[in-house]
Amino acid sequence: MRQFLKYTLASLTGSILFCLLLGFLLTLGAVGLVGVIVAGLGKEGDAPTVEKDTVLVYDLSTVIPDSPEAIDPSALVFGTQVPSELTLRQAVLALEEAATDDRITALYLKGSTALGAGLASQTEMQPAIEAFQAAGKPVLAYDISWSEREYAVAALADTIYLNPFGEIEMNGLYAETMYQADALEKLGVGVQVTRVGRYKSAVEPLIRDTMSPEEREQTQRLLGDVWQNLLTTAAAPRDLTAQQLQNIANTKGFLFGAEAETQQLADAIAYEDEVITALRELTGEKDEEVEDSDLDFRQISLAGYAATVDDPLTSRRSDNQVALVYAEGPIIDGGDGDFSQTGIIEGNTLARQLRQLRQDDEVKAVVLRVNSPGGSATASEVILREVQLLREAGKPVVVSMGNVAASGGYWIASQADAILAQPTTITGSIGVYGIFLNLEELGTKVGVNWDGVKTSELADIFSSTRPKTAAELAILQRSVDAIYDSFLDRVAEGRDLTRPAVAELAQGQVWSGQAALDLGLVDELGGVNAAIATAVELAELGDDWRLQEYPEPSELQQFLRGFFSTEVAQAQTHDPLTAQVLQFVDDAQILRALNDPRGVYMLMPYQFVVK
């Protein structure tokens, strides 16, 4: 009886504590909900005001994704601040509009410690900045120190300012990968792989401690292509040659103060307050008229200005629709629910979207914007099937590649009517692998064991509690081989190449967009707008069409977006140790997201960091 009372009392106490905790959380959530709604209502109707003689400010740390991030509804309950995001099309449209807007007097490229746009996105924004300059409006750029990637953007400016205490970094690019095989062995985590492609190195960080010769070769080649593009981009506006910048990289690496000015990489050495004074001269402000801050001037951020700009393509009136579909992030299996994960391509979700567009009579063509390193082989095939069906239905499909469209990302693009990429797009990686972890040794170390029964010899082939036998690995290798053969067939058919030619450039090799064009993996260099124009031409629509972006935000998402801060996300630079830890976490999250039912993946080589 005493035991009964003891457990009953313990259970009752636990229930009471749970109810109290639940009540506290609900109260906290209610307060957060009310606070957010009140704040949102307070913001309702507010819109950025653009005054005459305003400077448009592009903070280079502004995160610029292809598509806006979905808001988790739980953020509303707990009052989490979710920053809005300036998308690539919005950024380009804003820069183009500002060029002809009489209220905008100049463009200020504000340097930072990190860039928020990828290399391909930078390339896409460049013509819009050049158009602003061609309109006779000054472009100014300032930072304490400029990195190579930052400088490639700043080089477009009429005047580049460098802080007297800063430098211009021009020492080349460096790529590194974190290898974890030794750590996994010490932990007792076993790793077995199956793969096809000598260059398919995505598994190497888990099974090696150093780069393989093949990985070193392809990374060096890719890095060289990116570096040459950066040199050309940075040199041309400054009336320099790429070789001159290469000489600086080889002999100096960093240019400080007056030396940067002498070498024509900077136009003036100045402190930020002196740059602000120059900006005030453009706005016509006098120092005594500025009350808020010594560093203040009449300005509007790129994100703020974008909110005032109407999209001329989506606001058209026409029954003919060109659909722009965003596919951004790793490709995973599944996606049958009502809510999609942000930054993840769910195979079933994207396939369903493409199916709906195929069945919509108003949709005449589809532009598929792919920004993905790949992922699940099964999910990639599910998506590709819908691309094929769209074409069979007489609706052209044009792929626009973003910063990366490799492996599974290339699989879903391979049979489009046309593929466009930027010179620095990372693509290719035509290869397949399977990865199988087991915890047997780890369990032994901590005193955990597993045992079970089965009805046939291969019933537990996917068990993670023991290593695979040689016979099991042979079976799994056959599966990988079959998918690789299918990959080659799809690329050969879609790209109108012979199978031997595809086999030669495959093997898991990663290519830049420029190299992919030369190899026939890409049809044309260009961005989203060029892809849209190609789709319109293939569908023979003339001027009678309008653009619609997908996935469309739900009513809930539109409601939530209206209640959160309009601050844009900013890219951050971390100290070397923190950066290594965060990279390890990112790698682990990618592994965790992989869920192919056959354990077979088409993913580009593990994340390597370019510095």
Question: Mind listing the pLDDT tens digit for each residue in 477-533?
Answer: 999 999 999 999 999 999 999 999 999 999 999 999 999 999 999 999 999 999 999
Provide DSSP, 208-220.
-SS--HHHHHHHH
Tell me whether residue 427 is in a domain: yes
pLDDT at 288 over 80: no
Residue 90, SS3?
Answer: helix
Cα separation, 524 vs 418, in Å, equals 8
Residue 394, SS3?
Answer: coil
Contacts of 25 (CB under 8 A, 6+ apart): none
Name the E strands within 113-199.
Answer: 139-143, 159-162, 167-169, 175-176, 190-196
On whether both 298 and 363 belong to a single domain, the answer is no
How does DSSP classify residue 109? E
Task: Supply the pLDDT for residue 339.
Answer: 45
Classify residue 26 by burial, with Cβ atoms within 10 Å: 0-12, 13-18, 19+: exposed
Task: Supply the pLDDT for residue 9.
Answer: 40
Tell me whether residue 512 is in a domain: yes
**Phi then psi for 286, rounded to 5 degrees?**
-105, 150
pLDDT in tens, 15-43: 444 444 444 444 444 444 444 444 444 44
Task: Supply the pLDDT for residue 286.
Answer: 72
Nearest alpha-carbon partner for 147 in 124, 167, 119, 163: 167
Neighbour tally for 461: CB within 10 Å: 17
Q: Side chain identity at 53, as an amino acid letter?
A: D
Task: Look up residue 376 and give its two tokens.
Answer: 């699940």
How does DSSP classify residue 84? B
On whether both 136 and 238 belong to a single domain, the answer is yes
Tell me whether residue 84 is in a domain: yes
| CA dihedral for 585, 590, 594, 600, sign (positive or negative) | negative
Which H/E stretch holds residue 249? helix 242-251
Q: Side chain identity at 572, as an amino acid letter?
A: Q
Grade residue 419 by pLDDT with cuts at 50, 70 and 90: very high
Maximum mean pLDDT: which of 8-12, 263-267, 555-559: 263-267
Task: Supply the pLDDT for residue 72.
Answer: 59
Task: Supply the pLDDT for residue 3.
Answer: 42
Query: What percent of the chain lies above the pLDDT cut of 70?
Result: 78
On whether both 604 and 502 belong to a single domain, the answer is yes
pLDDT at 574 over 80: no
Q: Is 145 a catalytic residue?
A: no
Contacts of 162 (CB under 8 A, 6+ apart): 142, 143, 145, 146, 168, 257, 260, 261, 266, 268, 269, 270
On whether both 280 and 373 belong to a single domain, the answer is no
On whether both 301 and 343 belong to a single domain, the answer is no
Residue 158, SS3?
Answer: coil
Tell me whether residue 270 is in a domain: yes
Contacts of 11 (CB under 8 A, 6+ apart): none
On whether both 244 and 347 belong to a single domain, the answer is no
Buried (b) or exposed (e) across 226-238, using 16+ Cβ within 10 A?
Answer: bbbbbbebbbebb
**Among 121, 147, 372, 407, which one carries the catalytic annotation?**
407
Query: Last residue of some domain: 306, 336, 356?
Result: 306
On whether both 240 and 350 belong to a single domain, the answer is no
Query: Angle at Cα 379 formed by Cα 207 and Cα 320, nearest 5°?
Result: 140
Average pLDDT over every residue of 369-382: 94
Average pLDDT over every residue of 529-548: 98
Tell me whether residue 528 is in a domain: yes
On whether both 512 and 402 belong to a single domain, the answer is yes
Q: Side chain identity at 593, as an amino acid letter?
A: A
On whether both 224 and 367 belong to a single domain, the answer is no
pLDDT in tens, 163-181: 999 999 999 999 888 899 9
Contact call for residues 265 and 231 (beta carbons, < 8 A): no
How far the first Cα of the chain sits from its last, in Å, is 69
pLDDT in tens, 114-164: 888 889 999 999 999 999 999 999 999 999 999 999 999 999 999 999 999
**Domain of 580: which CATH number?**
3.90.226.10
Query: Last residue of some domain: 240, 272, 306?
Result: 306
List the single range of 44-53, 220-229, 260-269, 342-351 with lowest mean pLDDT: 44-53
On whether both 598 and 538 belong to a single domain, the answer is yes
Tell me whether residue 316 is in a domain: no
Mean of pLDDT over the chain: 85
List the single range of 216-230, 253-267, 291-305, 551-565 with lowest mean pLDDT: 551-565
| CA dihedral for 215, 217, 219, 222, sign (positive or negative) | negative
Give the count of domains, the chain.
2
Instruction: Tell me which residue range forms the domain holding 125.
Output: 54-175+208-306
Task: Supply the pLDDT for residue 214.
Answer: 95
Nearest alpha-carbon partner for 553 in 71, 47, 33, 77: 71
Question: In residues, how long is the chain?
Answer: 611
Tell me whether residue 385 is in a domain: yes
On whether both 486 and 426 belong to a single domain, the answer is yes
Nearest alpha-carbon partner for 122 in 99, 152, 155: 152
Contacts of 160 (CB under 8 A, 6+ apart): 141, 142, 146, 154, 265, 266, 267, 268
**Phi then psi for 235, rounded to 5 degrees?**
-80, -40
**Among 110, 137, 200, 468, which one carries the catalytic annotation?**
200
Q: Is 565 a catalytic residue?
A: no
**Phi then psi for 495, rounded to 5 degrees?**
-100, 0
Provide DSSP, 529-560.
HHHHHHHHHHTT-TT--EEEEESPPPHHHHHH
Cα separation, 384 vs 361, in Å, equals 21
On whether both 273 and 170 belong to a single domain, the answer is yes
Task: Supply the pLDDT for residue 605.
Answer: 59
154: left (phi over 0), alpha (psi -120 to 50) or beta: alpha
Which H/E stretch holds residue 59? strand 54-59
Task: Supply the pLDDT for residue 48.
Answer: 76
